Amino acid sequence: MRAQTFPDLPQMTDTQGDPRRCGVEIEFSGLTAEKVADITTRILGGTADQADDHAFTITGSEIGGIEVYLDTALRHAESSAVKAIGLDLGQAVIPVELVTEPLTLDQMAPLDRLRCALREAGAEGSRAGLAYGFGVHFNPSLAARDTKSITYPLLAYALIEDWMRSAHPIDFSRKVLPFTDPYPTDLVRAFCDQGFVTPEVATDLYLRHASGRNYGLDMLPIFAWMDEEDGTTKVADALGDDSTSARPAFHFRLPDCRIDEADWSLRGEWLRWLLVEEIAADEALLVKLLHGWEDAHGRVTLSRAPWARRCGEILKDAGVPARTIARDKTEDQENDEGEAA
């Protein structure tokens, strides 16, 4: 299968005129870190340097630097013996993680080509095991430090999250594990009450109602970066530590990794984030969703399902999902034609 292209975001450059980039993290099982490093250099070139039995750094690839490692806290254990034993025993259920440096959208296509090769080699995804819970994380960089670039996408995601989880459900293993929790209703209500607040106010609301890291959209990296810029410590104070990786990029961690399934692709998951930014760029639609959420919830929320249905109706009336689905089908048809030729 030919690697797919990735549609542009509504705003493709930052305030310096540089292209916005996106780091990608892919979790899967079925292959050792060494095997993944070998396949990566074969497909994308570069040189793999081994840090230990379960960690490799690839430099000079077609898409730049790549880290490949067994994703577990045991890698950082103080005792080397405990670490080695734990990692060797855990390979069957602990995912290998492949982490790229920030990529342009043109560089996403070679990464998707690597995804195809890993699948053919036996990589396993979220639904291959009851306890797998593997995901794909996208880290798209900010266009600017302003309300439209930070608060609008956050609000867009918060308003459509219930619909997104209903229309495109994540695997059960990821629902029960504490890595992709839905935003608390009180957080969404606070944003609806206050509207299009500044990033600073958004930070305060978020830390008051959702100060943990394990949400489908983790905003803490951006807020920690703002702390560094401002000389403040809001995130560290709220979490009780300063371990958050600060960077001017969203951390979208909702998508599953279904790397072993023939009809799954990174592009399909990218369309989820594209939809968030498309809605964020449509202020009139955001207002309609905001008022719709308020009408559906009142002061007490007993179920998320009614809003998920109503949100889908609002989006359908606006034609947003239809545009995204049509774009995806067109790309699939082009791929089929290319293969037939």
Could you read off the pLDDT of 75-113 as tens digits, one per residue? Answer: 444 444 434 434 444 445 578 999 999 999 999 999 999
DSSP H helices in 59-198: 80-90, 105-121, 147-167, 172-176, 185-194
Q: Percent of the chain scored above 70 by pLDDT?
A: 81
Angle, vertex CA 298, rays to CA 251 and CA 212, nearest 5: 25
DSSP state for residue 13 in the 8-state scheme? B
Please tell me the distance from the alpha carbon of residue 71 to that of residue 137, in angstroms, as a whole number.
14
In which residue are the tokens 């001017």 written?
248
Q: Give kind and range of the element (H or E) at residue 203.
A: helix 199-209
DSSP state for residue 134 in the 8-state scheme? -
113-159 residue pLDDT tens: 999 999 999 999 877 665 567 889 999 999 999 999 999 999 999 99
User: Between 44 and 171, whose confidence is greater?
Assistant: 44
8 Å CB contact between 118 and 39: yes
DSSP state for residue 244 in the 8-state scheme? S
pLDDT at 54: 85
